[in-house]
Chains A and B, each alone.
Chain A
Amino acid sequence: MAMVVAREWREIPGRYNLEGTKCGCCGRIFFPSRAFCPDCRRESIGKMAPFRLSRKGEVYSFSVVHEASNINRRMMPYTVAFIRNDDGVMLAGQIVDIEPEKVCIGMKVHAVLRKLDEDGNAGIIHYAFKFVPDE
């Protein structure tokens, strides 16, 4: 039985290494990657370069997810957040290694590689960035 793997494999540069794009015209940084800059539009075509975003940032907002889902069944409830990274770009991901009650807006965090989910016991394991508190 063939498993479809390309979809998540394509996203590895972003998922593992926070690789986004930088506009060659205005210098604005995007995550996830964009083929052209919404500000510079046509001028930016062909001028968007890969850019590795800083793994450091701080919490802009967060929530603790209690709903049953197929991910994180062994880590309920779990914290999700919008993180403003040191490049000034907003990122979205989970915050782990800290009790949900201790998370607060402004808390400094950094991105690490963790297991996101897997395609069942026999399928591919998906890794992606999650955030842990700076200690």
Chain B
Amino acid sequence: MRDVAVIGVGSTKFGELWGESFRALGIEAGARAMKDANMGGDEIDAIYIGNMSAGRLINQQHIDALIADYTGMAADHVPATRVEAGGASGGVAFRQGVMAVASGMHNCVIVGGAEKMTDMDDVSINDVLNATADAEWEAGMGLTLPSLYAMISRRMISEGIATREEIAACAVNSHFHGAFNQDAQFQKAVSLDTVLRSGPVADPLSVFDCAPISDGASAVILCPLEEAKQHTDSYVKVAATMQASDTLALYQRPTITSFGATAAAAQRAYQAAHISAHDIDVAEIHDDFTVAGVMALQDLALFPKGEAGKAFLEGQTKFDAGRVAVNTSGGLKAKGYPVGAAGVSQIVELTDQLLGRAQGRQVKDAKYGLAQSVGGTGSAVTVTILEAI
């Protein structure tokens, strides 16, 4: 198995992009990534695309073909694979791309993540998102995805792992960073009070505890580490990319205040990268809900149990705080959450950080970056560690 490098990254703006179609977004992200890698396109020999639910959101199946076609790759019959794992679609697609290069099966892979969500009404979008929980026994019984995360929150609070304010502070951190990201959906810092006083979604979680509905796409180019220099001087190494599964339904687990899949994937990743959590300088975590962000920091061993919420509240997660910088892109909450794109856009941000190109939010001497992508209520998790070369 050979080492893999990320040699180019690109992303569209995230937001309610009424004028952009799904295929337009996919192409734009891909084009930016190709430019960043100094490539024309002929080099690509496989495409992976993370997409949660184009079949329901825009009635389009066969996303692999759509992307291959509109990137011009279909003309050369380049193989394309669409990957779905709920919110982890992007992270899983990225890992598939890395495996393709590491195994020697392919030499130059583009991994994209894209979602077009605003072509559907809000109530129906919620139904689509709820389908990443147990459709029969959670969503089917009236338990929405936000209510599942709300139940996690209630246990976190009752078990003394985090307070309501500490949970909400994850959103404050995301918005603080989003203000520096010109591609973010929300580029304005918010106060803790704003988060706490926003309208209820699923008690105790409110509007500001939940990532928005967004359109957007991101893409990254991968090649063997030993060949990276042939394309560019700006590249990073994929030190590890690990994935873990868990039960589909949240209530089938022994505990709901921790995602076992995150902990498992993280353990495997730290081991493969020969580092410990302590070495991570910058982390992009899956804060589709604030409480998920708090859990992530603990399950990733970036903060001890009971300390992650405090870290958010006290600003220890800011890019210039000198501990581990969390969600410098604005996270899912402020950057935006076009679901399939999330896991790939995290790689874009980490690459920029490790290459010293993160405008206005640069983490000093960033050497190791970690990306966590989550599906459903932690039913699938990928943890990727990138290393500055």
Contacts and interface: CB of A to CB of B under 8 A. Distances in A.
A and B touch in the complex (CB under 8 A): yes
Interface of A: 11, 14, 32, 60-72, 77-78, 80-82, 90-94, 100, 105, 116, 128
A49 B353 CA distance: 55
A110 to B, nearest CB: 16
Nearest to B145: A67
Given A72-B142, A82-B251, A90-B251, A66 B136 contact: no
B203 A105 contact: no
Contacts of B79: none
Contact of A68 (B122, B143, B158, B204): B122
Given A61-B155, A63-B146, A68-B123, 4 more contacts: A60-B155, A69-B126, A69-B142, A80-B142
A116 B141 contact: yes
A94 B138 CA distance: 10
Contacts of B251: 82, 90-92
B256 to A, nearest CB: 7
B282 interface: no
Interface residues of B, number: 34
B373 to A, nearest CB: 24
A80 B143 contact: yes
Which 4 residue pairs of A and B lie closest in terms of their CB atoms, listed nearest first? A63-B150, A64-B203, A61-B151, A63-B147
B249 interface: yes
Given A68-B122, A90-B251, A91-B251, A63 B204 contact: yes
B199 interface: yes
A94 B127 CA distance: 17
A69 B127 CA distance: 8
Contact of B201 (A67, A78, A82): A67
B141 A67 contact: no
Interface in B143-162: 143-144, 146-148, 150-152, 154-155, 158
Contact of B151 (A71, A80, A93, A100): A80
Contacts of A82: 151, 250-251, 256
Contacts of A62: 151, 154
Query: Most B CB atoms within 10 A — which of A11, A62, A63, A71?
Result: A63
A64 B137 contact: no
A69 B154 contact: no
B59 interface: no
B200 interface: yes
B273 interface: no
A33 B152 CA distance: 24
15 contacts: A14-B137, A32-B136, A61-B151, A63-B150, A65-B142, A65-B146, A67-B146, A67-B202, A69-B126, A70-B123, A70-B127, A80-B141, A80-B151, A90-B252, A105-B155
Given A63-B203, A64-B202, A92-B251, A78 B155 contact: no
A63 B199 CA distance: 14
Query: Most A CB atoms within 10 A — which of B141, B155, B202, B250?
Result: B141
